[in-house]
Each structure stands twice: as C-alpha cells, then as structure tokens.
Amino acid sequence: MRQADIRAACVLIAVGLVTIVFVIPRQTTPGNTFGLPPAFMPSLTMAIVVGLSVLLLVRSLAARDDRRPAPILAVEWWLLLKTGSLMLAAVVAVHVLGLPIGGGLGVAGFMVYLGERRPLPILATAIGSAGAAWALFVYLLRLSL
C-alpha cells in the first residue's frame, strides 16, 4: 500500500498542478469587478488536494514498507478492462438501440459474461428488463428513449 500511496500522491499532485495552472484559467471567466472570481473555489479546492497530497507523499516516504500486496493486482486491472469494456458496450447499445432494447441486450450480455448459460433465465431476464423499462419510462412516464 505504501508504494501505491506514493504513486497516488504523485498523480494527484501532478493532476492538481496541471488543473490549477492550465485547466482552471482556460475553463473559467475573469468574473465581475466586485465579488470573487469564478475560479476562486475550484482553485482553492484543488490547492487543498495538492497540499494534502504532498502530506500523503511525505508520510508515505517516511513510512516503512508494509509488505502488503498492491491494492490493484495485474489480473484485477485486466478484469477491470474487460468488465469496463462490456459496460461501455452495453451503454453504446442503449445509446444506439434505446433503453428497452439496448438494456435488454446488455442484461443478456452480462448474464453470459458472468457464467449464466441457461437460455430461459437469460431470455426471461432480458425481456423482462426491457419490458419493465418500456412500461415505466415510455408508457407511464411518457419519456422518449
């Protein structure tokens, strides 16, 4: 965890400084002559993040190695990539085909991904989810999906 804390602190310091120096000035307006500029609170909060991250870095460097495994193992990164990709695919399906159909396909896809092989539960759950989405959002709430 010590190594992970050092890396996390470095990333936070770098992201924080880039945000304060480059992002916030470009993404905010100067504001009025009275009151505080719009950049005030984003800059303040990001400065706090940077300051606390420096403290975290110092504390982690001073600490002894705790010999605990890395908080995210290589296999977990790989699983995150796979699961995240499937989630993205489900979201794209919803985007292209609409919530009822895209969502139904997403449900079926995730069931197969998680190891479900019985066609009846897959079909029933996917169609049930799609039907419920249609009934609630389209029929009852009159939303366009």
8 A C-beta contact, residue 106 and residue 116: no
8 A C-beta contact, residue 83 and residue 73: no
Of 17 and 56, nearer to other proteins (C-beta) is 56
CA angle 13–77–72, rounded 5-degree value: 60
Neighbour tally for 122: CB within 10 Å:
17
In the complex, the smallest distance separating the C-beta of residue 17 from other proteins, rounded to whole angstroms, is 14
Of 18 and 66, nearer to other proteins (C-beta) is 66
In the complex, the smallest distance separating the C-beta of residue 71 from other proteins, rounded to whole angstroms, is 5
In the complex, the smallest distance separating the C-beta of residue 1 from other proteins, rounded to whole angstroms, is 7
